[in-house]
Amino acid sequence: MNQIISVESLWQKIKFAENGLIPAIAQSIETKEILMLAYMNQESLIKTLQTGKIHYWSRSRQKIWLKGETSGHLQFLEQIYLDCDGDTLLLLIKQIGPACHTGKPNCFFQQINFSKDLSLPEEIK
Amino acid sequence: MNQIISVESLWQKIKFAENGLIPAIAQSIETKEILMLAYMNQESLIKTLQTGKIHYWSRSRQKIWLKGETSGHLQFLEQIYLDCDGDTLLLLIKQIGPACHTGKPNCFFQQINFSKDLSLPEEIK
């Protein structure tokens, strides 16, 4: 069974990495598909909890990133979970439009055909 | 629609972080629940593809970690996906027993009650 923890307790349990970030998995609460993985810092997590709209930390732009601010493809927080050792978040969300910047519904559209082809990387052949 | 990519193509597209690791989300192919997030290096990914049993890199023990080696709670690879920008893996797996070391079915059992309590962390109060 799930344990319900308070936000106050969250701040005690959460472990941001040395770079101040924690990975956050976004899963559709409707379809259960994994939409994307991105990173949050403390400020983006606070903004997410305060507004109900998912804010990440953009590692490429080095700034807070309201998901969908430009595209309109917002993500609304329905449920949020912290994992057993406090270093990963799971977000159950309602996604407006496609989650991926490519226009695909989710970011995991490259399926690796590993059943027949077990070639090794060039550098260790 | 999904794109099917070869393992050879995977080695060109995948982007390990500076520490040599990539996050891997493990999702049950049967229930669609998110079981855990852990990290792989190139060697653990090769072992996973070669054996069909999920191998991670243990950051605490700094060694290859065959999930379930001690507990028997193995994970069998059914499908594997690379995300749009090549820096996250999604594993669709069959899980033997509970996924979490606590004995819970998955690692995300701490649900944060954010609807009423928006307390800020001590250091920024």
Query: pLDDT, tens digit, for every residue of B44-87?
Result: 999 999 999 999 999 999 999 999 999 999 999 999 999 999 99
Residues from chain A contacting residue B118 (CB–CB below 8 Å): 7, 49-50
Question: CB-CB: which of A3, A37, A50 is closest to B110?
Answer: A3
SS3 state at A92: strand
Average the pLDDT over A26-48 and give the result: 98
Q: What is the pLDDT of residue B117?
A: 63
3-class SS shares of chain B: helix, strand, coil, % to 5: 15, 35, 45
Average the pLDDT over B22-28 and give the result: 98
Best residue of B54, B110, B117 to probe chain A, by most A CBs closer than 10 Å: B110
> CB–CB of A111 and B32 under 8 A?
no
Residues B57-63: contacts with CB within 8 Å, 24+ apart? B57/B21, B59/B21
ipTM above 0.90, yes or no: yes
**Separation in Å, CA of B33 to nearest CA in chain A:** 7
Cα B57 to Cα A58: distance, rounded to the nearest angstrom:
25
Domains and CATH numbers, chain B: 7-105 (3.10.20.810)
Buried b (16+ CB within 10 A) or exposed e, A60-78: eeeeebbbbeeeebbbebe
Cα B81 to Cα A71: distance, rounded to the nearest angstrom:
25
More confident residue, A124 or A66: A66
Whole-angstrom Cα Rg for chain B: 16
pTM above 0.90, yes or no: yes
